[in-house]
Structure 1
Amino acid sequence: VHVHGGGWVYGHKDFVYRIYGAALAKLGFAVMTINYRLAPNVTLKDIVYDVSSAIDAVLKLSDTYPLDIHRVYLVGDSAGAHLSALATSCRFYPQLQDVYDVQPKIHVQGLVLSCGVYDFNHFIKHIPFPRKYDTLHAIFQTKNIEESTLFNYAHVTDWLHKDFPRILLVSTEMDALHPQTLHLEKKLLEMNISYTSLIYTKKQKLPHVFNTKLVFKQSQQVLEAIRDMFG
């Protein structure tokens, strides 16, 4: 299941992701690319609800298509990485299920997280990002972001679990969000959660979510890593 990026405020499954989904399908995966409602028309609560519901739709689709509901993996980039991880956290924590009004039915078995945001406190303090506060105001729908009832339930790093599925972390040092990946990696190590990282240096001059742009040879390397890890 592919969850697109776009800063929670734009994006569509049929942009670059149609081509990327086809590349994943060539590896032998059944691929579902999904949409979700976007801020500021809705809050993060609605977005997580949409993503969780779309993941659970695999159950119904398995009646029509030859899908293995016991081998469901999420692939997310940028905001999609955040949403993929947060939707997975909902499986482990009733508090999150109450906040986001979800009851996850699918047990996700693996995550591919590319160039994501995983801790909004860290994001606010340490990440230079165009129109950062406009984006945060849109998804939390308040000027006082930390006072939002959703804020403390939005940080993936606070809602990891020892039984979290294995993760493939993808990032590039050229990406402004790269410190978020390192921050998440530190938490994964602390909790002994299984993960593999593919982190590319500045010398390779790879942009944000480069893995979705198949013109780079490193994008093919990421595809091969996905195949080897989850295929």
Structure 2
Amino acid sequence: MTKGEQVVDSLLTPRTDTIELMQLKRELKSLRRSNSLLRAQVHEFNNQLHAISGMIQMGRHADVTRYIRSLNQQDRLLEEDLTARVHDSSVIGLLMAKSSFAAKRDVVLSVAENTVLDLLKPTASIDVVTVIGNLVDNAVDAAEESEERDAWVEVEIQQDGSKVEITVRDSGPGIAHEHAQKIFRSGYTTKTTEKGKRGFGLALTQTICERRGGKLTFTSSGHGTVFRAVLDFALLSEKDSEALHDD
């Protein structure tokens, strides 16, 4: 450095809007969940192809035809049933994927007959998908632990204007009293596996509900647990609305 020269160090610190950052994190988590569901569906599809291949090798062509018709009918009936009451394609896709995901774990996932949902704005749809996805994942985990009866999960969605209420019931053993006051804490989990990778779903769901002017509550007993999430898309603050790009 010659005489008269001056070195100036500078540090550029980006200022990211907190709400926008949370939205990006949720979108990333939604994409990761979609990838996981797609991998599960690919695995399921491979099993079905193996079954078809085996029947063909044995020359049981009539059985192959009946098997394929049965597969197509199950998917078609579920899609037709959902499409008649749910008009948001992202939510329909999630529920169909979760139904397959639950079935692979011997859990029956059903959608309540009184379910109804209109087409949502993109960011609202992301929030609803995130809430349903997290609650269903927890419910399937709980139902899988049930030893006394068939394992099941029921999803109910109700809409009244801008307000959406999501109820998820399961047949699990319920939430123990020592866990009941902690389940909404970020990073808290009752699972002993995958340390460091669980315990954020309910905390995130609660944050989304509260930011949307609603709340997340639950009731639990030895006969199962019911989670109820309420979101009001008309109550997003003006500042948050700008950050979420005209939601």
Same fold (TM over 0.5): no
TM-score normalised to structure 1 length: 0.26
TM-score, normalising length: structure 2:
0.25
> Which of the pair has the greater relative contact order for Cα pairs under 8 Å at 6+ separation?
1
User: Whose radius of gyration is greater, 1 or 2?
Assistant: 2
* Structure with the bigger percentage of helix: 2
